[in-house]
Structure 1
């Protein structure tokens, strides 16, 4: 962006979606195969939070001019999980 002199404000995220469970599965696969978790029900969640949980749907249309930006799952694997890998996950 700097090389192209794009100086306006850009708020963006990687394209794609990833769930909480998918991240935990990646953690288990790359970092700690013994890691276990238990999901809670919506009723249990509501007891512990003040405002209802929301999932965001963000527009990534502007990012099409940056094809080198990886989708979220690929980015997590490449930049978070593989560099910290402790198992033999692919």
Structure 2
């Protein structure tokens, strides 16, 4: 997952530093759909609920099977150590700025 509010300034800095090559442009780590839904519920709408698909239900509504993967962001993190993990970045850049509830 890439949190653009955090990562969009990075290519400008990369250009200034003359960094070239292949880079996985993503926040480090992994986060699940449920974890994102929980953040949304906790910060935006405490009444928000969701129901997960089982694999049979999912197969009926998608064209190709889903895959879960983690891109190696070590190279980017080494050059930009201030990058937040993917479980922290959405809270700082997406949910807290739009917060409507008090998080306990």
User: So what's the TM-score if we normalise by structure 1?
Assistant: 0.89
Q: Name structure 1 gaps, 5 residues minimum.
A: none
* Alignment of structure 1 residues 33-52 onto 2, 5 Å: 33-52=46-65
Whose helix fraction is larger, Structure 1's or Structure 2's? 2
Structure 1 residue 7: Cα displacement: 4.6
Q: Number of matched residues?
A: 90
After TM superposition, the structure 1 = structure 2 runs for residues 1-90 of structure 1, keeping only pairs within 5 Å, are: 1-8=14-21, 10-63=23-76, 64-89=78-103
Q: CA deviation at 1:8?
A: 4.6
Higher normalized contact order (CA 8 Å, seq sep 6+, divided by chain length): 1
